[in-house]
Amino acid sequence: MAQESSITEEMRKAIGVESAPVVFDVEKGAVKKFAQAIEDPNPLFQDEIFAKKSKYGGIIAPPTFPSMLRNPAVVDRIFNFDTPLKGLLNGGNELEFFKPIKVGDVISVTAKINDVKERTGGMGKMIFFFNEVIYKNQKGEVVCIGRQTLIRHEVKEKK
């Protein structure tokens, strides 16, 4: 007897639907505070005089800075899908870089669900959502692509 899928029609219809963009101004203070928070002393992220002499011509953001530039549309949608799988886990993130993010850039962030898969594991039924986040600068250039896997899973009651 085949088991019924936990992937709903609503989930299937969400695949490939791009969110509206969320726009961020990249400010020097935010880049500096982020670099300090991750304890990265690289002068490219904090020292204007040093950064101006570099090949970038000014302060750039640390590679993990896009994690601050969030478009919550896809995560909110996944969280709000009607499913008995109430748990939500981050199954992993990766960033692919194409251009540095510079102070003064205006970054537009869109997101979409690329695929949905179902598996059964130690936690029972699980639905894997494979998401993509596109970061573009004010010139329309893709500066970074983020990929994330989110997992909805069963929550077992504690006895």
CATH of residue 96: 3.10.129.10
Cross-strand partners of 60: 102
Q: Confirm whether 17 is domain-assigned.
A: yes
Q: Confirm whether 38 is domain-assigned.
A: no
Query: What is the model's pLDDT at position 3?
Result: 62
Q: Which of 106, 105, 101, 92 is nearest to 146 (CA)?
A: 92
Q: Confirm whether 47 is domain-assigned.
A: no
Question: Which domain range does residue 129 map to?
Answer: 9-25+65-153
Q: Confirm whether 43 is domain-assigned.
A: no
Q: CA 138, CA 120: separation in Å to the nearest integer?
A: 43
Q: What is the pLDDT along the chain (159 residues), one digit of tens a residue?
A: 456 888 999 999 999 999 999 999 999 999 999 999 999 999 999 999 999 999 999 999 999 999 999 999 998 999 899 998 999 999 999 999 999 999 999 999 999 999 999 999 888 899 999 999 999 999 999 999 999 999 999 888 776
Length of the chain, please? 159
Q: CA 80, CA 86: separation in Å to the nearest integer?
A: 10
The count of structural domains within the chain is 1
Q: CA 107, CA 102: separation in Å to the nearest integer?
A: 10
Q: Confirm whether 36 is domain-assigned.
A: no
Residue identified by tokens 């573009």 is 136
Residues 109 and 133: beta-carbon distance below 8 Å: yes
Q: Confirm whether 56 is domain-assigned.
A: no
Q: Confirm whether 97 is domain-assigned.
A: yes
